[in-house]
């Protein structure tokens, strides 16, 4: 899939620049055409000669070279994708703020192609609010961020911030080209996050769901060309601004919104942690403290997935999630049958690194026909890819 693709690689001033050499080698081996832009900082780590020898193309560094102007517009138009690897904290900041003080930045600002970024820096820099805000900003522009690794950093400290390995970056590009536009024309409805059930004006019943998993699925579906409607409960997570996100609070609001959008969707993926019960009455005024104990009268919420299972046509693919703490496989299979889903994605809270709040997840997917697919612990983005690859491989739709 990489064969014949035109890849523009931006290399910035990080020790990880040496890994970019291997990225070029692997891309060339896979049949890509590669052109490289380096920042002056990158020159301190690797020489342009290394890159030009491997890519068989001239490497550009300056906006003005030997008295002539380097045509950054042309480079941006030439590329099928602009990969920036490694991207330092400094480059991320400049990209986020539109600063144009070198050839790489000028090319970024004029590029018409998709942008993929592989950040690299020390852990503190990676976790700094400024860097994270810049990353959010770049994500909002629909740029793809290749997750950083956990491992030994240039400082000698172990932590997050290491650039993804060259093989993984090339694999990422491979998936990018393979999956691009494969879901064009498809409509997808996704639920994510918790729901909050009001008790009175200041209190609610909720759960620890962050919405990360459902958002990752929504973003991956969107990246593959689908028209995505995300029905999102109260969540602090950022969502790509190009996704049609409908923010709701309660289970009832999520139910109504899903039912209003149900018919026009090809895939319905219910990743939300919906409250099963809601207070029978929502007090208008704050409940005052009085007795030593109190009782809340709760009533069942509508089961959105169950209703979706009743309504769905044979052409619609319905995916449910099951979060379990015991008898996981049995409960997940029973849920799939009861709610008439085509797939059931099981998370077990017994697996470390899986479930609410983690950046990672470990899932097992059950299919209606009895097949079971187990996956190792992965980032939620990679888990989203696994789920989507499986549910879209069904040929009925
Ligand atoms: N679900 C839903 N509406 C509800 C409750 C759950 O759509 N009112 C969906 C969830 O989005 C998920 C699936 O049902 O896809 C399973 O949710 P889960 O809470 O694991 O199961 P429940 O059916 O609520 O059963 P229990 O809580 O007893 O395990």
Show the DSSP H helices in 6-115 as ranges.
Answer: 17-29, 40-43, 48-55, 72-78, 89-97, 103-110
Range of weakest confidence among 111-120, 174-183, 196-205, 364-373 = 174-183
Query: What tokens does 246 get?
Result: 């409908």
102 lines ligand 1 (CB under 6 A): no
> Which pLDDT score, from 0 to 100, does residue 72 have?
74
Structure tokens at 76: 């941006």
Question: So what's the pLDDT on residue 104?
Answer: 96
DSSP track, 342-370: SEEEEEETTSTT-STT-SEE-EEEEETTS
What is the pLDDT averaged over residues 389-397?
Answer: 79
Q: What percent of the chain has pLDDT over 90?
A: 79
Radius of gyration of the CA atoms of the chain, in A = 24
Q: What angle do CA 149, 151, 154 make, to 5 degrees?
A: 105
* CA 386 – ligand 1 centroid, Å: 21
Q: Which of 230, 269, 276 to mutate to test the pocket of ligand 1 (most atoms within 8 A of CB)?
A: 276
Atom in ligand 1 nearest the alpha carbon of residue 322: 20
Which region among 24-33, 108-117, 122-131, 376-385 has the lowest average model confidence (pLDDT)?
A: 376-385
What tens digit of pLDDT does each residue of 144-158 get?
A: 999 999 888 877 888
Mean pLDDT, rounded, for 366-385: 91
pLDDT-derived band of residue 61, with 50, 70 and 90 as boundaries? confident
Backbone angles phi, psi at 253, to 5 degrees: -65, -40
CB distance 321 to ligand 1 below 6 Å = yes
Q: Are 120 and 87 in contact (CB under 8 A)?
A: yes
Cβ of residue 272 lying under 6 Å from some atom of ligand 1: yes
Structural contact between residues 17 and 42, judged by C-beta atoms closer than 8 angstroms: yes
Give the pLDDT confidence score for residue 283 in this predicted structure: 94
Q: What does DSSP assign to residue 80?
A: S
With a 6 Å cutoff on the Cβ, whether 305 touches ligand 1 is: yes
- Confidence tier at 322 by pLDDT (50, 70, 90): very high
Query: What is the Å distance from ligand 1's center to 343 Cα?
Result: 14
Q: Write the residue with the smallest CA distance to atom 21 of ligand 1.
A: 322
Of all protein residues, whose CA lies closest to atom 14 belonging to ligand 1? 305
In this predicted structure, what is the pLDDT of residue 219? 92
Q: For residue 158, give both structure tokens.
A: 């172990």
Give the mean model confidence (pLDDT) for residues 153-172. Answer: 90
| pLDDT at position 103 | 94
Distances (CA, A) of 381 to 15, 51, 354, 387: 26, 31, 13, 10
Q: Which of 330, 335, 346, 354 to mutate to test the pocket of ligand 1 (most atoms within 8 A of CB)?
A: 335
When pLDDT is averaged across residues 291-308 and rounded to a whole number, the result is: 96
Query: Is 201 strand, coil or helix?
Result: coil
Q: What is the pLDDT of residue 205?
A: 97
Reply yes or no on whether the pLDDT at 266 is more than 80. yes
The answer to whether the Cα torsion of 202, 204, 208, 209 is positive or negative is negative
Q: What is the pLDDT of residue 63?
A: 80
Residue to substitute in 259, 300, 303 for testing ligand 1 pocket (most ligand atoms within 8 angstroms of CB): 303
Residue 321 alpha carbon, nearest atom of ligand 1: 15
Adjacent-strand bridge partners of 106: none
Distance CA 145, CA 172 (A): 10
Give the ligand 1 atom nearest the CA of 319: 15
Question: What average pLDDT score do residues 334-342 get?
Answer: 97
pLDDT digit string, tens, across residues 230-261: 999 999 998 887 799 999 999 999 999 999 99
pLDDT reported for residue 156: 81
State the distance from the centre of ligand 1 to the C-alpha of 48, rounded, in angstroms.
56
Residue nearest to atom 6 of ligand 1 (CA): 274
Percent of the chain's residues with pLDDT above 70: 98
275 membership: H or E segment, kind and range: none
| Spatial separation of the C-alpha atoms in residues 370 and 22, rounded to whole Å | 42
Catalytic residues: 207
Mean pLDDT of the chain: 93
Instruction: Give 98 Cα–ligand 1 centroid separation in angstroms.
Output: 44
Phi, psi (rounded to 5 degrees) for 229: -115, 120
Q: Which has the higher per-residue pLDDT, 396 or 244?
A: 244
Atom 9 (ligand 1) nearest CA: 305
Q: Which is higher by pLDDT, 358 or 118?
A: 118
Query: Helix 251-261 to helix 304-311 angle, to the nearest 10 degrees?
Result: 20
**DSSP assignment, residue 286?**
P
* Ligand 1 centroid distance, CA of 274 (Å): 6
301 lines ligand 1 (CB under 6 A): yes
| 119 Cα: distance to centroid of ligand 1 (angstroms) | 37
Determine the pLDDT at residue 337. Answer: 96
Among candidate residues 173, 178, 17, the one with its CA nearest the CA of residue 87: 17
pLDDT at 187 over 70: yes
- What was the pLDDT predicted at 35? 97
Q: Which pLDDT belongs to residue 3?
A: 95
Peptide bond into 361 cis (omega under 30): no
- Measure Cα distances from 70 to 66, 107, 289 in Å: 10, 10, 72
Which pair of structure tokens corresponds to residue 356? 């609410």
When pLDDT is cut at 50, 70 and 90, the band that residue 397 belongs to is low
More confident residue, 389 or 382: 389
Quick check: CB of 197 below 6 Å from ligand 1? no
**What does the block give as tokens for 361?**
């997840």
Q: Long-range contacts made by residues 67-70, C-beta under 8 angstroms, separation at least 24?
A: 70/103
Mention every residue, 6+ apart, whose C-beta is less than 8 A from residue 290.
none
Q: Supply the pLDDT for residue 396.
A: 57
Ligand 1 touching residue 123 (CB < 6 A): no
pTM flag (> 0.75): yes
Q: Give me ligand 1 centre to Cα 395, in Å.
A: 27
Whether 72 contacts 103, CB under 8 Å = yes
pLDDT of 67-83, one tens digit each? 666 677 788 889 999 99
| CB-ligand 1 contact for 27 (6 Å cutoff) | no
Q: Is the CB of 346 under 6 A from ligand 1?
A: no
What is the side-by-side strand order in the sheet with 144-145? Answer: 33-38, 6-11, 81-87, 115-119, 144-145
- Which of left, alpha, beta for 9 (phi over 0: left; psi -120 to 50: alpha)? beta
Mean pLDDT for 167-194 is 93
């Amino acid at each position: 899939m990489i064969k014949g693709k035109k890849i523009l690689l931006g290399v910035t001033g990080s020790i990880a620049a040496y890994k970019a050499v291997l990225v070029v080698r692997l891309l060339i081996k896979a049949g890509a055409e590669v052109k490289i832009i380096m920042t002056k900082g990158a020159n301190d780590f690797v020489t342009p000669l290394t890159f030009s020898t491997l890519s068989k193309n001239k490497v550009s560094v300056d906006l003005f070279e030997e008295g002539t102007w380097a045509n950054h517009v042309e480079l941006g138009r030439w590329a099928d994708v602009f990969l920036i690897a490694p991207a330092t904290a400094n480059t991320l900041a400049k990209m986020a703020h539109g600063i144009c003080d070198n050839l790489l930045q000028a090319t970024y600002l004029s590029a018409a192609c998709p942008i993929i970024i592989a950040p690299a820096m020390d852990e503190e820099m990676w976790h700094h609010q400024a860097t994270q805000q810049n990353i959010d900003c770049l994500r909002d522009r629909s740029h793809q961020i290749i997750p950083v690794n956990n491992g030994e950093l240039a400082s000698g400290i172990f932590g997050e911030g290491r650039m993804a390995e060259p093989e993984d970056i090339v694999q990422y590009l491979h998936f990018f080209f393979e999956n691009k536009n494969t879901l064009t024309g498809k409509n997808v409805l996704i639920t994510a996050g918790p729901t909050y059930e009001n008790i009175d004006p200041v209190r609610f019943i909720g759960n620890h769901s962050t919405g990360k998993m459902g958002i990752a699925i929504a973003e991956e579906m969107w990246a593959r060309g689908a028209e995505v409607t995300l029905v999102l409960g109260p969540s602090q997570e950022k969502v790509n601004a190009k996704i049609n996100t409908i923010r709701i609070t309660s289970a009832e609001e999520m139910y109504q919104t899903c039912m209003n959008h149900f018919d026009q969707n090809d895939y319905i993926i219910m990743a939300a942690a919906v409250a099963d019960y809601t207070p029978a009455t929502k007090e208008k005024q704050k409940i005052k403290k009085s007795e030593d104990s109190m009782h809340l009268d709760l009533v069942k919420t509508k089961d959105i997935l169950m209703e979706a299972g009743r309504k769905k046509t044979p052409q619609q693919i319905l995916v449910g999630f099951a979060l379990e703490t015991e008898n996981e496989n049995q409960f997940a299979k029973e849920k799939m049958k009861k709610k008439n889903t085509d797939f059931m994605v099981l998370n077990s809270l017994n697996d470390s690194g899986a479930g609410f709040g983690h950046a990672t997840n470990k899932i097992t997917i059950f299919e209606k026909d009895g097949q079971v697919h187990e996956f190792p612990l992965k980032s939620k983005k990679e888990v989203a890819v696994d789920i989507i690859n499986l549910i879209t491989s069904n040929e009925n739709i």
